[in-house]
């Protein structure tokens, strides 16, 4: 009777740990760069009531009689998979697609993180820093042609308000989709797309599709 109680209690304690891990995952649903964890279980030692017997010329062998003594926590694993990316509304926030880490630090100290919560230490310009611990964001300096030498030394990133890039007008727009062939001749479909002019201003282009005879479509922008 006591053995069955202890086995049941071990299950309650182990599943409580699993619930703690799930609760922590839920609590960090909006934590940038957070990696969720999972719990795995393993069987505890078993008590052998009767040993196994070997087969003979006239009888077959028998398996041992064992009673399990409950369950224990096998491991707590971190899932190193990429989460969903979403817009935060802050132009200095960054995210990494695929493998890799942001490098933070000063001097010879290095820290690695997936949390791209960054900002400038002087408002509109200055050192690019982590808003979590204030460490500078390190990177490789590009030359005037935009080429980066990955063998160079890491340097603190500095953003200057005077360093601007000339705007470039949108030169190509790609549309992809399907037009319903059940539309009647003369029916129209309207879609809009945003692009930029030579001054860097956002513009909206409206594209109209009109069905013609022979299952053809005419479009105007």
Give the model's pLDDT for residue 162: 64
For range 86-91, the mean pLDDT:
86
Q: Quick one: residue 134, left, alpha or beta (phi over 0 = left, psi -120 to 50 = alpha)?
A: left
Q: Indicate the pTM of the whole model.
A: 0.56
- What would the pLDDT profile of 103-131 be if each residue is shown by its tens digit? 999 888 999 998 999 998 876 668 899 99
**Which of residues 220 and 22 earns the better pLDDT score?**
22
- What would the pLDDT profile of 155-185 be if each residue is shown by its tens digit? 999 887 666 777 888 888 887 888 888 888 8
Helices (H), the chain: 2-27
Contact predicate 198/167, CB 8 Å:
yes
- What would the pLDDT profile of 17-46 be if each residue is shown by its tens digit? 999 999 999 999 888 888 899 999 998 877
What is the rounded distance in angstroms from the CA atom of residue 89 to the CA atom of residue 101? 22
pLDDT band (50, 70, 90) for residue 1: low
pLDDT band (50, 70, 90) for residue 85: confident
Question: Domain limits of the chain?
Answer: 2-78, 83-164, 166-221
């Amino acid at each position: 009777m006591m053995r069955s109680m202890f086995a049941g209690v071990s299950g309650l304690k182990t599943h409580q740990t699993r619930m703690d891990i799930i609760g922590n995952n839920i609590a960090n649903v909006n934590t940038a760069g957070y990696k969720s964890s999972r719990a795995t279980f393993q069987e505890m030692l078993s008590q052998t009531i009767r040993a196994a017997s070997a087969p003979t010329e006239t009888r077959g062998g028998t398996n041992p009689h064992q009673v399990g003594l409950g369950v224990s926590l096998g491991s707590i694993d971190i899932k190193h998979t990429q989460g969903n990316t979403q817009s935060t509304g802050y132009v200095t926030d960054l995210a990494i697609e695929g493998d890799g880490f942001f490098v933070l630090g000063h001097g010879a100290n290095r820290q690695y993180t997936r949390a791209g919560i960054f900002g400038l230490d002087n408002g509109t310009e200055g050192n690019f820093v982590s808003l979590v611990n204030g460490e500078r964001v390190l990177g490789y300096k590009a030359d005037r042609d935009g080429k980066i030498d990955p063998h160079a030394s890491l340097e603190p990133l500095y953003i200057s308000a005077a360093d601007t890039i000339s705007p470039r007008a949108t030169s190509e727009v790609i549309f992809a989709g399907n037009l319903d062939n059940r539309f009647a001749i003369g029916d129209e479909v309207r879609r809009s797309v945003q692009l930029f002019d030579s001054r860097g201003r956002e513009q909206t282009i409206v594209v109209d599709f009109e069905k013609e005879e022979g299952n053809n479509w005419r479009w105007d922008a």
